[in-house]
């Protein structure tokens, strides 16, 4: 199972979801598969789950999805305890765990290549629906459940390393431009203007 295969399954399930991506490979693949207005493309590790949690708290009737990786999750483990205790129900975190830092170009192993099990870490942090999937069929089943946006979900997707994102054209939209598209999408669909918009 590759991350791209999982994202191909996830993309048609998106309706009014807000999708927050993590670092580059994933951002490029998701940007290639989905032009959804509710995509917030972050370009860094260790931030997607936190930003997604803030969105979920601000918009409790909106399903929010964070697309994370093993390295990114390991960088900000405290967010698991934070979201577990905030009573958030409309958040799903997908962790595409290839057990390595692919961005290093020498595929250095992450802690999940060793003794660390993120499903167990998340459950210990208090996220009850914490599961690991290892094949496409299991992913589909969990994805459909998670995309309902009614239960805090943490889904570790064990994927093989794939460098397909290096063959995909990078998005022409930069992060700030994407942010404005995202808040304009929310303005149109929620009737709520971000506090920093306008006043020109």
Partner 1 sequence: MEAQLASRIVAGLGEAGIDFMSYLPESRLSQILPLMRKDPRFKLAPTASEADAVSIAVGATLGGRQAACYMESTGIYVSCYQLVVVALHLHVPVLLLVSHLGGFDDQRNSFLYSLPGRRLLPQLRALDIEHRVLENGVNLETNIKDAVRTMNALREPVALIFTGDFTI
Binding site for partner 1 (CB under 8 A): 20, 40, 42-44, 46-47, 49-59, 76, 78-79, 81-82, 85-86, 175-176, 179, 182-183, 186, 190, 192-196, 199
Q: What is the DSSP string of 139-160?
A: HHHHHHHHTT-SS-EEEEEE--
Smaller CB distance to partner 1: residue 22 or 110? 22
| 147 CB-contact burial (10 Å; exposed 0-12 / middle 13-18 / buried 19+) | middle
Strands, E assignment, 32-124: 39-41, 64-69, 91-97, 100-101, 108-109
- How many Cβ atoms from other residues are within 10 Å of residue 63's Cβ? 22
Cβ 135 to partner 1 shortest distance, Å: 32
Cα(134)–Cα(82) distance, integer angstroms = 27
Smaller CB distance to partner 1: residue 28 or 48? 48
Cβ 155 to partner 1 shortest distance, Å: 20
Cβ 27 to partner 1 shortest distance, Å: 13
Cβ 59 to partner 1 shortest distance, Å: 5
Smaller CB distance to partner 1: residue 164 or 173? 173
Smaller CB distance to partner 1: residue 144 or 175? 175
């Amino acid at each position: 199972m590759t991350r791209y295969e999982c994202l191909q399954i996830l993309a048609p399930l998106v309706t009014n979801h807000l999708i927050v991506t993590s670092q580059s490979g994933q951002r490029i693949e998701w940007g290639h598969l989905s032009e959804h207005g509710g995509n917030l493309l972050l370009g860094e590790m260790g931030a997607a789950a936190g930003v997604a949690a803030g969105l979920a708290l601000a918009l409790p009737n909106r399903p929010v999805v964070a697309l994370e990786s093993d390295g990114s999750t390991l960088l900000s483990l405290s967010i698991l305890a934070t979201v577990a205790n905030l009573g958030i129900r409309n958040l799903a975190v997908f962790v595409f765990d290839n057990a390595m830092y692919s961005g290093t170009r020498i595929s250095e192993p992450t802690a999940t290549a060793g003794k660390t099990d993120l499903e167990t870490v998340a459950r210990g942090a208090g996220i009850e629906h914490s599961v690991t999937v290892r094949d496409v069929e299991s992913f589909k089943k969990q994805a459909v459940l998670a995309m309902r946006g009614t239960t805090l979900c943490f889904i570790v997707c064990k994927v093989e390393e794939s460098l397909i994102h290096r063959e995909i054209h990078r998005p022409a939209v930069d992060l700030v431009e994407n942010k404005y598209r995202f808040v304009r999408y929310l303005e149109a669909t929620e009737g709520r203007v971000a506090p920093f918009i306008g006043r020109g």
